Structure 1
């Protein structure tokens, strides 16, 4: 069986070569330099190396203003121009009139309805379920679609079984911030776990939101650790995946982290990487956020 792994990284764009504002140029990023030969920039946004493609994707979608998560993720996961649909960029949560589209058109639901197997690999802690049980409904795009389609969310038991990952995939933040006592795992181990999960399903999605938090200066004290674990995680995914049986797409919804001179999002192109069996087809087909889902379902059947 051919499997698709989609890794969503919130808030990473392709920016300037200025190391004073772009942390990728200030600190280096092994995934870029070792696997693609250099760090992507607005001067050189497209990089290729043996069935791996790194390239820019338009997150502005013909609408003025700064791209936002609500409309960006709706466009990315559901395959329609959400900012144009509502007349503006909106976030961080989905705009009300996009909710029916998110329920019906999310890429996870597409594969679920085809009965070929889709899986959302993120797990959620107890405070998330307390939030849902309180009657509150403001959720991100994927969580909203999962809830509206009555699909069970992964919990701590799934993390312990190795069938799901926490939000930072090492378990460190769940232990430190939420008082759990989970075993700490290395980023490389988490990546291998996600690859094993991927092999059991036609389509797997994992979401990582912490880079956008870093871009907004919310968790500055964790900058070095989060930056380094993501590099190790992505490097392991791209070097240990089965290139003949798997297609990986690593994508974002808007720029932010690549320009730390501002706390807001940017209009820079979103970072996208494809690797594996249908990587070239996806690379050739995706120019805008709303083209990601259609390209995946066209080539990764």
Structure 2
């Protein structure tokens, strides 16, 4: 089986009000769920799809943050409990050590399975890392811990990688010679790539960026692009031995009444073409153990 994890930073399950996810047109997700239902704390089992909600607070007071939430997602270790608080942005040394030891990519590599990080890294990014102006996120540290080779502009140009904006508009603005593509094509590219690996991760943090900036129209457009992206992915994997999961580290974009992260639960929207026993996911730290269990069958 091939497992794909689609990670959307700051993508929670809010109410119907002030929620661009509810206001957006999402025909592909609606078809998966049997309705326009990607909001609220709910459980749905519809055909080959399943939606559950995950507690992102990690049992620690305060508002969930990215470094601890993402470390938890990709290791199965409750990072906020280890630190005693929620840490934003990038992992500190203590979290980096947890990732180095427990990354899902490392755990897969240790048992002879291949992982792939589909995102693209530009020369500009690498220069910022080299100059100390930027640090690796939890996702990148997780991939590197498993010996995963990072994908670069030549890979993106040939459809062997995906950019976090899905369309390649951002790297083109940086002067990179890459084609402008549709979100659907980006999803198809991800699906084709995933068929060569046991586990594939793709992330986009634009949902969190737009949530912080409270860009309503842009957020609706982004959600609709994500839906088209999922449609392209499904076009490619619908007849293959594939499972995928869409999830997040904390809420943000789903509630424009709050400027910043929320304590809302986050989705675990899953699909598989094979009959599998889905794990009982209820919180962020359940995700990595559940994926490893599925991939051990």
State TM-score, norm by structure 1.
Answer: 0.91
Secondary structure of the residue aligned to 2:172 is helix
Q: How does 1:1-301 map to 2 (within 5 A)?
A: 2-18=1-17, 21-36=18-33, 37-42=35-40, 45-135=42-132, 138-147=135-144, 151-176=148-173, 178-217=174-213, 222-238=218-234, 240-242=236-238, 245-277=241-273, 281-282=277-278, 284-301=279-296
Shift in alpha-carbon separation, 1:134–1:57, aligned structure 2, 3 A: same
1:229-259 deviation line (CA, Å, top 9, x unaligned): 1110023324542365111111111111100
Pairwise CA distance, 1:38? 2.4
CA distance in 1 between partners of 2:225 and 2:49 (Å): 21
CA distance in 1 between partners of 2:122 and 2:47 (Å): 39
Matched residues, number = 295
Shift in alpha-carbon separation, 1:139–1:84, aligned structure 2, 3 A: same
Secondary structure of the residue aligned to 2:277 is helix
Shift in alpha-carbon separation, 1:133–1:266, aligned structure 2, 3 A: same
Judge which range, 74-83 or 146-155, deviates more.
Answer: 146-155
**Structure 1 gap segments, 5+ residues each:** none
Secondary structure of the residue aligned to 1:8 is strand
CA distance in 1 between partners of 2:244 and 2:144 (Å): 25
Give the CA RMSD over aligned residues: 2.1
Asked whether the equivalents of residues 188 and 235 of structure 2 are also in contact (C-alpha less than 8 Å), the reply is: no
**Structure 2 gap segments, 5+ residues each:** none
State TM-score, norm by structure 2.
Answer: 0.92
Asked whether the equivalents of residues 59 and 289 of structure 1 are also in contact (C-alpha less than 8 Å), the reply is: yes
CA distance in 1 between partners of 2:190 and 2:164 (Å): 13
Judge which range, 53-62 or 33-42, deviates more.
Answer: 33-42
Pairwise CA distance, 1:59? 0.4
1:199-240 deviation line (CA, Å, top 9, x unaligned): 011111111111111101176774454232111002332454
CA distance in 2 between partners of 1:214 and 1:117 (Å): 33
Shift in alpha-carbon separation, 1:218–1:41, aligned structure 2, 3 A: closer
Asked whether the equivalents of residues 214 and 256 of structure 2 are also in contact (C-alpha less than 8 Å), the reply is: no
Asked whether the equivalents of residues 71 and 95 of structure 1 are also in contact (C-alpha less than 8 Å), the reply is: no
CA distance in 2 between partners of 1:278 and 1:87 (Å): 40
Shift in alpha-carbon separation, 1:41–1:29, aligned structure 2, 3 A: same
